[in-house]
Amino acid sequence: MSATQDFHYRLPGRSGGWRPGAHAGRAMGSGEDFLAHASLFARPDPRRIDLRASLRDPRGDWLVRLARQRTSVPVAALVDTSASMGFGAPRRKLDLAADFVAALARAASAVGDPLELLAFDERLRDELGAPSSRQAGLGERLAAGLRAAVCEAPGHGALRETAERLAGREALVFLVSDFHGYGADLEAALDALTRARVVPVVVWSGQETEPPAGEGLAQFADLERGGLAELWLRPRLKRRWREAVAARRVELDRTLAARGLRPFFMGDPFDGDTLTRYFLEGA
Amino acid sequence: MIAGIDFLRPGLLALLPLALLPWLARGRDAIPYAHVAWLPPDPLGRAAGRLLRALGALLIASLVIALASPGRPESVEVRTGRGAEIQLLIDRSRSMDERMLPSDWRTLSPHEIRHQTRSRGPIKSQSARELLSSFVAQRPDDRFAVSFFSASTLHVVPFTQHDEVVQAGIAAGGIHRGLSETDVGRALISSIARFDKRPYSGSRIILLVSDGGARLDEDTRLAIRAGLERHRIALYWIYLKGFNRPDLDMPGEASEAIPEVALHRFFASLPTPYHAYQAESSEDLAAAVEDVGRQQNYPLDFEERIPRQDYGRAFIAAGLVLAGLLLALGRLRLGALA
């Protein structure tokens, strides 16, 4: 994939976990992040003896330096594959999501984090997902699976069930979806993910945020619920269309901000630099 | 008239529920969209969509109805015809140039009558023409046609209500002398033919003014009978009886040999109305003409059969208009995004 899709993520604060990695961690271990001095008797590691501190010590103890170890954080992507994600031409929103998953896999392997993929619609789609792994080339394989996937489920009923798989895990969780029709189930899913750092990745196609170019009568059929809307497209209605999109964006922002989350609105095509900036802003 | 509608193929009306198709075929042409609830509500668009669907439903319904061939059933209507159609058929043979009995013939001695008639009786054709022209003048509502006949028939005036033309036609009969023969059969057949393809709007009369009969062969008789019956024509024969000419009501088998009597008996055998008037003098002729006029003075009630009228074309035309409208509106439709 093109270099512009590559991004880097960093996490604010310190993460738990014992496994060494690239993120600031809470665990003590070998690292440069100084925490405190301790007596050699308490921490019998002569390699860490700090001579200057020991000489300064009034009690004359041998002191060793204690440091926090940089830690690895598991990364998980929750990808909505319901019918509305099949919308968009020539590239479906799920194709955009696949691009993102590929880039995420590269970003995770760059810092040595394991990646887990969970795809869901009305049920958990295990055939598209993958358990947590550092396997090389995993991202391309998952992305290819997503690109070939069929989106026909009329909803995202398994959202909560999927989120509960990660419940209690201190992970970096990307919730990749268009967030259409998300309500109480989103709240429940976020409840399950309280310990994780959740990055809502909002995938909207330009074709749904922008009204069609022509004017005239247009009928729209809902991909998921089978509803039907008839619009007489005209400049005034197109303005209202854009207003409705903006209102939805604000509403989503507000819903997530209540939990301290900031959604990332993915463009078409997916731009890695924007996501990198998102993490820099958040960190 | 709404009540009187029937269908040639009412079974096809069972297809009428097809008109619901535009409502059932939800979103077949619709653009798939990720999340319809997102879109702004648009009453105008909804109304336009309903209109399109209603037009489609109407189109299907009108085609189904057209297939079922609605129509007004065949009916019989009573109509009142005003004014008769009278075909004047006047003998133009030489014998018509003879004179009739003078008006005071009853006072004359039998020896004198022949002589007197030769010298001062009115000329048959002339007095007939005069009386007929006053008869025509008295009946402005009727349509007249004038024909003369001897060996063949001369149609002088077609059916018309224009009095002057008819009068001139009658007057034309007075020009020059008459011809030699009297072929009543051919004259009647060609007079009957003049009623062909005319709408039946009042009683029809052939007024035959003649002083002689003719022997008709069987074919002619059949043709006359059929023609009179088909066109519903009443026949009046004013027989200008000359001196010493046979009486129409002469009894007996032997009198069948007399052409006038034979003709009268044939006419009397017709199913259509027939009346014969014998006129020996011009007074008799006047009385006969007056009697004809009295008999045919009434408005005529007759039943007219109105054939079944098919309204299917109207529905097909409506369907065509609707289809055109839908095509035109369909061009305003957006088929796809972007």
Q: What is the CATH number of the domain that holds B285?
A: 3.40.50.410
Regarding whether B27 and B170 lie in a shared domain, the answer is no
Tokens encoding A108: 């995770």
Mean pLDDT of A252-270: 90
Regarding whether B282 and B318 lie in a shared domain, the answer is no
Q: What is the mean pLDDT of chain B?
A: 81
Question: Please, are residues B51 and B297 in contact by the beta-carbon 8 Å criterion?
Answer: no
User: What pLDDT, on the 0 to 100 scale, is given for residue A207?
Assistant: 85
Cβ of residue B29 closer than 8 Å to a chain A Cβ: yes
A275 vs B27, more confident:
A275
Domain for residue B335, yes or no? no
| Alpha-carbon gap, residue B65 to B17, rounded angstroms | 11
Chain A with chain B: Cβ pairs closer than 8 A: 118
Regarding whether B85 and B68 lie in a shared domain, the answer is no
Facing residue for B49 by CB, picked from A178, A215, A230: A230
A1 pLDDT higher than 60: no
Mean pLDDT of A140-155: 91
Cβ of residue B43 closer than 8 Å to a chain A Cβ: no
The verdict on a CB contact (< 8 Å) between B37 and A227 is: yes
Tokens encoding B310: 């098919």
Q: Number of C-alpha atoms within 13 angstroms, CB side, residue A70?
A: 11
Regarding whether B181 and B58 lie in a shared domain, the answer is no
Write out the residue limits of the CATH 3.40.50 domain(s) in chain A: 73-282
For the segment B133-173, what is each residue's pLDDT rounded down to a tens digit?
888 888 777 788 888 888 788 888 888 878 888 888 888 87
For the segment A153-176, what is each residue's pLDDT rounded down to a tens digit?
888 889 999 999 998 888 999 999
Identify any residues that bridge with A80 across adjacent strands, giving them in sequence order.
A120
User: What pLDDT, on the 0 to 100 scale, is given for residue B297?
Assistant: 60
Facing residue for A230 by CB, picked from B45, B337, B338: B45
B129 pLDDT higher than 80: yes
Mean pLDDT of B277-300: 73
CA distance A208 to chain B (A): 7
Regarding whether B97 and B236 lie in a shared domain, the answer is yes
For the segment A216-233, what is each residue's pLDDT rounded down to a tens digit?
888 888 888 777 888 888
User: What pLDDT, on the 0 to 100 scale, is given for residue A133?
Assistant: 92
A202 pLDDT higher than 90: yes
Regarding whether B119 and B51 lie in a shared domain, the answer is no
Domain for residue B132, yes or no? yes
Question: Please, are residues A163 and A189 in contact by the beta-carbon 8 Å criterion?
Answer: yes
Q: Which of B26, B29, B36 to mutate to test the interface with A (most CBs of A within 10 A)?
A: B36
Regarding whether B184 and B48 lie in a shared domain, the answer is no
Domain for residue B338, yes or no? no
State the residue range of the domain holding B93: 81-300
Regarding whether B207 and B149 lie in a shared domain, the answer is yes
Domain for residue B17, yes or no? yes
Q: How confident is the model at residue A102 (pLDDT cuts 50, 70, 90)?
A: very high
User: What pLDDT, on the 0 to 100 scale, is given for residue B8?
Assistant: 85
User: What pLDDT, on the 0 to 100 scale, is given for residue A103?
Assistant: 93
Q: How confident is the model at residue B1 (pLDDT cuts 50, 70, 90)?
A: very low
Regarding whether B139 and B99 lie in a shared domain, the answer is yes
Closest C-alpha among B155, B160, B202, B173 to residue B304: B202
* Phi, psi torsion values for A237, nearest 5 degrees: -70, -35
For the segment A33-61, what is each residue's pLDDT rounded down to a tens digit?
888 999 999 989 899 899 999 999 999 88
For the segment A9-39, what is each residue's pLDDT rounded down to a tens digit?
988 888 888 888 888 888 888 888 888 999 9
CA distance A245 to chain B (A): 7
Regarding whether B200 and B325 lie in a shared domain, the answer is no
B121 vs B193, more confident:
B193
A80 pLDDT higher than 90: yes
Domain count across chain B = 2
| Alpha-carbon gap, residue B233 to B225, rounded angstroms | 10
Residues of B in contact with A225 (CB under 8 A): 36
Regarding whether B24 and B91 lie in a shared domain, the answer is no
Beta carbons within 10 angstroms of residue A155's beta carbon? 17
Regarding whether B282 and B145 lie in a shared domain, the answer is yes
CA distance A27 to chain B (A): 45
Cβ of residue B23 closer than 8 Å to a chain A Cβ: no
Beta carbons within 10 angstroms of residue B298's beta carbon? 13
- Could you give the 3-state DSSP secondary structure of residue A73? coil
- Identify the CATH class of A73-282: alpha beta
